[in-house]
A and B are shown apart, each in its own frame.
Chain A
Amino acid sequence: EPEVTQTPSHQVTQMGQEVILRCVPISNHLYFYWYRQILGQKVEFLVSFYNNEISEKSEIFDDQFSVERPDGSNFTLKIRSTKLEDSAMYFCASSYGTGGAYEQYFGPGTRLTVT
């Protein structure tokens, strides 16, 4: 069964450093997403991406964040200058279509720890 993969599984970084989280969505999917879950809190939507551009972003997704699809398979989330409060699980997801009728498939997540 096809699945979304994410690397690394755990990333530790110092405050102020840049990090890039990587995702390989399911190959025939067209829509890509990043979510995050701070420990003990709910999963929060960050950004969606379609046709090589951002479709929608939440208020969390400020200028420190960027997304890119550098080639035909990878989808990345970059945090330019990490803060302590960026520590969270980051989930990548993909779907074939948009809207609730199309299931979003989630990856296993990257745990980001900012020290």
Chain B
Amino acid sequence: DQQVKQNSPSLSVQEGRISILNCDYTNSMFDYFLWYKKYPAEGPTFLISISSIKDKNEDGRFTVFLNKSAKHLSLHIVPSQPGDSAVYFCAASWAGGGADGLTFGKGTHLIIQP
């Protein structure tokens, strides 16, 4: 049951260019969407989030866009830097009651080429 889908297992981008990572979801009850970054041998690290009532959130080089009608969100990284090379997970949460766990996508491995 893939409620959160990241259809690109990997993405290669040149340093300095824009990286765009995509994510689709099926559950319209999700009310928050988050992006996590993961380096090998480390746990996921929070990057940026967006509430379902917004369509854009920006934090420095990172911007997340949400299109609720299409059930699609994207993470833009501008400009891409070598340290951005990592696996990026899209995640979603639903305040259905209790301490809600996150639903993750499978991740996209971003490779920034010099």
Residues of chain A contacted by B49 (CB below 8 angstroms): 100-101, 103
Task: For the complex formed, measure the closest distance between the CB of A55 and the CB atoms of chain B, giving whole angstroms.
Answer: 4
Question: Which chain A residue has the least Cβ–Cβ distance from B41?
Answer: A108
Is B105 in contact with A42, judged by CB distance below 8 angstroms?
yes
CB distance from A103 to the nearest CB of B (A): 4
Known: A42-B105, A42-B106, A43-B89. A99 touches B100 (CB 8 A): yes
Expressed in whole angstroms, the minimum distance between the Cβ of B89 and any Cβ of chain A is 6
Report A-chain residues with C-beta under 8 Å of the C-beta of B98: 48, 50, 55-56, 98
Q: How many A-B residue pairs have CB under 8 A?
A: 83
User: Which A7-23 residues have C-beta < 8 A from chain B?
Assistant: none
At the interface, yes or no: A75 with Cβ under 8 Å from chain B?
no
Interface size class of B (residues with CB under 8 A): 20 to 34
Residues in A whose Cβ lies below 8 Å from that of B51: 100-101
Are A104 and B102 CB-contacts (below 8 A) given A42-B107, A99-B93, A99-B95?
A: yes
Interface residue? A41 (CB, 8 A): yes
Counting chain A residues whose Cβ lies within 8 A of the other chain, the interface size class is: 20 to 34
Q: Could you tell me which residues of chain B, from 32 to 77, have a CB within 8 Å of some CB in chain A? A: 32-34, 36, 41-46, 49, 51
CB-based contact A98/B104 at 8 Å:
no
B79 to nearest A CB, angstroms?
25
User: Quick check: A101 and B43 within 8 Å, CB to CB?
Assistant: no
Interchain nearest-CB distance for A35 vs B (Å): 7
Instruction: Given A100-B31, A100-B49, check contact A55 B43 (CB 8 Å).
Output: no
CA distance A33 to B99 in the complex (A): 9
Whole-angstrom distance between the Cβ of A42 and the nearest chain B Cβ: 4
Q: List 21 A-B contacts (CB under 8 A).
A: A33-B101, A35-B102, A42-B89, A43-B91, A43-B104, A45-B102, A56-B100, A91-B44, A95-B99, A98-B100, A99-B93, A100-B32, A100-B34, A100-B93, A100-B95, A101-B32, A101-B49, A103-B46, A103-B49, A106-B36, A108-B43
